A and B are shown apart, each in its own frame.
Chain A
């Protein structure tokens, strides 16, 4: 029975967004066990909604067409009600609701409990307006780009450094609020490799719309390789340009907030930059990680992301390009 619901939903969606799409951030395109559970539940409810919609709107339209006033028509009979009918249409929705409630409760107890069994623990910390990711068991700290192995359960522990945020990768499952003073939790197993898009879903101030993140699900082997690389200290190249850039970074005030492992930069307020050059995007997922974009970001972070808390001292163009070259080299 379920077989045709998916296509029906997709068809309606398609008809509406015929000129839209593809939808890389769509909740209707599940890619994890968690997302599939919610999708199946939603499809069931959607089916009932369609049935009820057709029946009730149909009855309304029939009533309108059939009982329009006509010249010489009969005077309506003053019926005041019918107890049997009333009971019937009190019970009918109740039955439908029970049929919706049963799978609902089953899924609630499946997804709202703590994770069971082996899982990879990730700590996600929401900041205005970026994400910090820590892998306590692996000793990795990174930002805005989460890597996970396909087929392994990931247990994300959520806390906030400031206000309430909400963690949401639509293709990997529902959202969970990130609340200061509370630790919340969400867990899922990605079922196929790929790049997934996510963003903050709870209004968190000026640049809430620009608080994005990416998730890379990869084969366990690729993930291992990534972990090994992330564990290593920042790269040190033996060139004059590198030394220049490194010096500009260390003396430019950046290290007050940013850390680059293996150097004197040990700031904790901003994203860890040890391997920033290897990330796909910068500024919490809103800019491609290119030298030009990084330069734009450093020179005008509040133009790119209004209200950004990054404090950049006065730097001349020359220094900025040196810093960018250095950061880009931190693969």
Chain B
């Protein structure tokens, strides 16, 4: 192995358990990208479970026709919060967990470019997520859909503070996303180690870079939409008031100019993970690296030109529908290229059938189905029957669950040994995989047919006699098993934390730099910065010296010290949000004061200890 220069894994692993030591205060003030990654991961998984429970309640209600288990008021809150939670509080931060933990290691850096900004991003996300969910305790959660179409969100049709929670919560989360994305852009552009040219970057790092650009460019559109809506609701402006000439469709344009790139923000990190895992478990480099990279860039680029395919039933006219149909179909080409390259990577390999590969293969299989149904509604005319039905519900879940979540689980099984230094059980992992795969299909495959047979989405009930009963029941039964499969995963993780066998530096014979160091990595990552000469530095036998390992004779590098200013600033933002929500000006003033204190303290605090 190329990394024999690294110290024996046992002792290295033992030496770095300090990576996570320290009390609560040390977690609040930490600026270490690995600890922040862990915090992102744990909290995102928590919100994934919250969103999952919301989904299970939805399925229970729909398990039988004309059910009265959940009243429509609660149902509308549940589906709104299920969508909002899964998109903004589960998948995005789960991706961010991997960005944080893995990217600096993969590019041979000691941390991200702006460690405190990174801590700030996490705390704004976490407190913003709590803020959004606190709505359940104060008069109910948002209930106008995760897409919040105007003018249902106006004070006339949505009085009270539910929609205000949604508007302000999303604005807060936007701050977190943009700050994190800017940070990763700079990190990846500037902190690559010597020899790590752009075209030698691991695919996951590449997709992180593209995702970060998407975030930075897409979030302003929804920010403007949300500000207009907030002004309408709080100050009585007329932006979305049709009686005063306001155009409710403006919201849809602004929302989807953000919303479609958002789909790729959710998807691309998963594509990157799978592009890392498949080569490692095939023992063969990624087939067509450059094509996979370029197709990722092309997907992102095209993603900005297809937003109106969410609006085919609006009546934009044949010209717009033709253009957006064609643009949407174009996206199938780079997506197809990626799938073909993954299969070509498997082809001729020596497949080690371990859990991460299982989930990656499950991802490809399910993502193909989601992609094909996507082409069906890329056709604007055919979409007139499909939009706003369960066909679309099936499609998005094949892309975001069958696709993204399978990929994220692949990533978790692959990288958790690096994070914790211990191995997850492969047997439990495969059990988790099979139950998840089968129950996922049982849940969502029938929904295609429910939609085609005329069941609209976002309905809290359906009449008996429309033929929807059997397929809904199947879907509900499937969802219960899907929920149960998560318990296996949680059990696997808890068991690992107590009794998991040590992972060693490189349990998978990985190709990228994160496998060159102890698990968990020391807080400084690299004592001496590595130099790479190829895309797969750990597989190239002649770079032993270039990836130096943790040589105790080299002095430990100085790392940035902890800071509570990012946390204080984040608290200030959420306090200001809460004040805005209740129009309590003194509370807003306290929030602003905290923000100013935080920023000035931050600006004048030296980074070192």
Q: Check whether chain A touches chain B (CB < 8 angstroms).
A: yes
The chain A residues found within 8 Å of chain B, CB to CB, are 12-13, 16-28, 35, 37-38, 41-42, 45-46, 48-49, 52-53, 56-57, 59-60, 63-64, 67-70, 73-82, 85-86, 89-90, 92-94, 97, 100-101, 104-105, 107-113, 128, 162-164, 166, 168, 170, 173-177, 179-182, 184-185, 197, 199-210, 286, 306-307
| A-B contacts at CB below 8 angstroms, number | 297
8 A-B residue pairs with Cβ-Cβ distance under 8 Å, sorted by A, are A49-B376, A56-B368, A81-B287, A82-B287, A104-B380, A112-B315, A174-B384, A201-B389
Q: Does B149 contact A (CB under 8 A)?
A: yes
Chain B hits for A108, CB < 8 A: 318, 321-322, 325, 380-381
Q: Decide: A100 near B379, CB < 8 A? Known: A63-B346, A173-B384, A203-B149.
A: yes
Would A49 and B372 count as touching, CB distance under 8 A? Answer: yes
Would B282 and A52 count as touching, CB distance under 8 A? Answer: no
Instruction: Tell me the nearest residue of chain B to A46, going by C-beta.
Output: B376
| Cα A69 to Cα B349 with chains together (Å) | 8
Chain B hits for A199, CB < 8 A: 456
Shortest CB distance A60–B (Å): 6
Would B361 and A64 count as touching, CB distance under 8 A? Answer: yes
Q: Decide: A25 near B453, CB < 8 A? Known: A90-B333, A104-B382.
A: yes
Would B388 and A162 count as touching, CB distance under 8 A? Answer: no
Q: Does B290 contact A (CB under 8 A)?
A: yes
Number of interface residues of B (CB under 8 A): 94
Sorted nearest first, the 7 A-B pairs with minimum C-beta distance are A174-B384, A181-B242, A25-B454, A209-B459, A20-B470, A107-B381, A23-B467
Q: Does B50 contact A (CB under 8 A)?
A: no
Convert B282-296 into 0s and 1s, putting 1 for each residue whose CB lies closer than 8 angstroms to a CB of A: 111101111100000
| Cα A164 to Cα B315 with chains together (Å) | 13
Would A101 and B466 count as touching, CB distance under 8 A? Answer: no
Shortest CB distance B519–A (Å): 23
Q: Decide: A89 near B337, CB < 8 A? Known: A52-B372, A109-B318, A206-B76.
A: yes
Q: Does B589 contact A (CB under 8 A)?
A: no
Instruction: Tell me the nearest residue of chain A to B373, going by C-beta.
Output: A49
The chain B residues found within 8 Å of chain A, CB to CB, are 71-73, 76, 144-145, 149, 151-152, 157, 242, 245-249, 282-285, 287-291, 313-315, 317-318, 321-322, 325-326, 329-330, 332-333, 336-337, 339-341, 343-344, 346-353, 361, 364-365, 368-369, 372-373, 375-376, 379-385, 387-389, 445-446, 449, 452-463, 465-471
Shortest CB distance A286–B (Å): 7
Chain A hits for B333, CB < 8 A: 90, 93-94, 97
Shortest CB distance A42–B (Å): 5
Would A73 and B313 count as touching, CB distance under 8 A? Answer: no
Instruction: Tell me the nearest residue of chain A to B474, going by C-beta.
Output: A16
Chain A hits for B459, CB < 8 A: 208-209
Chain A hits for B285, CB < 8 A: 78-80
Residue among A75, A176, A179, A184 with the highest chain B CB neighbour number at 10 A: A179
Instruction: Tell me the nearest residue of chain B to A98, going by C-beta.
Output: B329
Chain A hits for B388, CB < 8 A: 166, 168, 175, 201-203
Residue among B340, B383, B465 with the highest chain A CB neighbour number at 10 A: B340
Chain A hits for B322, CB < 8 A: 105, 108-109
Would B379 and A45 count as touching, CB distance under 8 A? Answer: yes
Would B454 and A164 count as touching, CB distance under 8 A? Answer: no
| Cα A197 to Cα B289 with chains together (Å) | 52
Q: Decide: A23 near B376, CB < 8 A? Known: A79-B287, A81-B288.
A: no
| Cα A21 to Cα B290 with chains together (Å) | 49
Would B315 and A177 count as touching, CB distance under 8 A? Answer: yes
Q: Decide: A41 near B382, CB < 8 A? Known: A86-B291, A206-B72.
A: yes
| Cα A69 to Cα B357 with chains together (Å) | 12
Instruction: Tell me the nearest residue of chain A to B287, going by C-beta.
Output: A81
Chain B hits for A207, CB < 8 A: 72
Shortest CB distance B351–A (Å): 5
Would B157 and A20 count as touching, CB distance under 8 A? Answer: no
Chain B hits for A28, CB < 8 A: 452-453
Chain A hits for B340, CB < 8 A: 56, 85, 89
Chain A hits for B341, CB < 8 A: 81, 86
Shortest CB distance B342–A (Å): 8
Chain A hits for B376, CB < 8 A: 42, 45-46, 49
Chain A hits for B282, CB < 8 A: 67, 76
Would A86 and B337 count as touching, CB distance under 8 A? Answer: yes
| Cα A201 to Cα B284 with chains together (Å) | 49
Would A306 and B72 count as touching, CB distance under 8 A? Answer: yes
| Cα A56 to Cα B364 with chains together (Å) | 10
